[in-house]
């Protein structure tokens, strides 16, 4: 079993290696792939050193699976090359997510859509993944009608440059800026770039990707995405309106029993999800569950998850696990 990790030196790539080790994917040979400036350097995986190779050499090695986390342009250029060589690509960028010919997969929800013919599989956006893990079982039971979403997103979603900016500002050092303003002691209503209608690309990913994953193009969704000076994970305030009414305890029980969800919801003991405790974990934590008193059939939820793990690396590895378990590669 030969697995390539493309973008292995990046923030998500390093977490992918950690998750692959932890979940013990049956890998005989690892193929670490990065840009030309990293080729020849070595990384350690399961106690063994592997030299980093470039794209063309990686394709020649014919990996069974390639986990991509190297940006959209790299994926657009190289994912088809890997696929043409027989490799199944699981891509973490936005390059293929809304391509109607590609599957957008969260294993707890729609992995059963996958076939051996799917050679490029899209991993959703981090903020989308954690939200739909919590919402999918509720949608099946009560049928979602409308979502109002506010996100409070970790700087790690931007990458290493943002982490360095926060560290520099915290220590009162000069340095390069990943954001147009300081992030320390601040909140930026600006995730990704603005598009023509005044929303950001991140906000529209929540709209379009959620509809595709849940298979409901009629779902009304609006979102505001905020960047905050947090490292551990993304948080989301979600107001969900259903077509059918619900009993609050039944809804809680449904979430408690749902795969990938950890219920943390007890105001009496100050128990609720926080990125401080989500960091390093693979669950999606849900709490602050309460009926919206302003309109019928509506609930408020607070959803938190480690964006580098379940929001990126772990979801991709879970897709690989499904492919292997069902002999699709």
Q: Which domain holds residue 96?
A: 2-123+312-325
Q: Are 122 and 154 in contact (CB under 8 A)?
A: no
Instruction: Select from 90, 81, 41 the least CA-distant residue to 58.
Output: 81
Number of domains in the chain: 2
- Spot the catalytic one: 139, 191, 234, 262: 234
Is residue 234 annotated as part of the catalytic site, yes or no?
Answer: yes
pTM for this predicted structure: 0.96
Residue 249 and residue 138 share a domain: yes
- Looking at residue 130, what is its pLDDT? 98
Q: CATH number for the domain including 199?
A: 3.30.360.10
Instruction: Select from 114, 111, 108 the least CA-distant residue to 136.
Output: 108
8 C-beta neighbours (distance < 10 Å), count: 26
Residue 150 and residue 72 share a domain: no
Residue 321 and residue 172 share a domain: no
Residue 72 and residue 27 share a domain: yes
Residue 299 and residue 220 share a domain: yes
Is residue 326 annotated as part of the catalytic site, yes or no?
Answer: no
Residue 164 and residue 21 share a domain: no
Q: Where would I find the beta strands (DSSP E) of 73-119?
A: 88-91
Residue 275 and residue 145 share a domain: yes
Residue 161 and residue 257 share a domain: yes
Residues of the chain with pLDDT under 70: none
Instruction: Select from 285, 282, 280 the least CA-distant residue to 317.
Output: 282
Radius of gyration of the chain (CA): 20
- Looking at residue 63, what is its pLDDT? 98
- Spot the catalytic one: 126, 139, 191, 262: 126
Is the CA virtual torsion 95, 98, 102, 106 positive or negative?
A: positive
Which DSSP letter does residue 35 get?
-
């Amino acid at each position: 079993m030969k697995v390539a990790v493309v973008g292995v030196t990046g923030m998500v790539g390093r977490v992918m290696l950690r998750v692959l080790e932890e979940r013990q994917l049956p890998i005989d040979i690892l193929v670490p792939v990065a840009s030309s400036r990293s080729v020849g350097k070595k990384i350690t995986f399961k106690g063994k050193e592997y030299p980093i190779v470039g794209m063309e050499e990686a394709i020649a090695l014919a990996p069974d699976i390639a986990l991509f986390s190297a940006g959209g342009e790299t994926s657009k250029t190289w994912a088809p090359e890997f696929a043409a060589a027989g490799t199944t690509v699981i891509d973490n960028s936005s390059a293929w997510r809304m391509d109607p010919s590609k599957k957008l997969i969260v294993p707890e929800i729609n992995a059963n859509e996958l076939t051996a013919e799917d050679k490029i599989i899209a991993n959703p956006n981090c903020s989308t993944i954690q939200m739909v893990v919590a919402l999918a079982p509720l949608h099946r039971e009560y049928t979602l009608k409308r979502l109002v979403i506010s996100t409070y997103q970790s700087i790690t979603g931007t990458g290493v440059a943002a982490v360095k900016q926060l560290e520099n500002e915290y220590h009162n050092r000069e340095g390069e800026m990943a954001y147009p303003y300081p992030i320390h002691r601040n909140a930026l209503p600006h995730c990704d770039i603005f598009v023509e209608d005044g929303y950001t690309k991140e906000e529209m990913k929540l709209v379009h990707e959620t509809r595709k994953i849940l298979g409901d193009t009629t779902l009304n969704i609006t979102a505001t995405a905020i960047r905050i000076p947090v490292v551990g994970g993304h948080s989301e305030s979600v107001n969900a309106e259903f077509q059918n009414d619900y009993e609050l305890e039944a809804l809680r029980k449904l979430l408690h029993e749902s795969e990938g969800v950890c219920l943390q919801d007890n105001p009496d003991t100050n128990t609720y999800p926080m990125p401080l405790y989500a960091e390093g974990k693979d669950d999606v934590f849900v709490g602050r569950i309460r009926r919206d008193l302003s309109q019928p059939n509506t609930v408020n939820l607070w959803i938190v998850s480690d964006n580098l793990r379940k929001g990126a690396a772990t979801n991709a590895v879970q897709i690989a696990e499904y492919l292997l378990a069902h002999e699709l590669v």
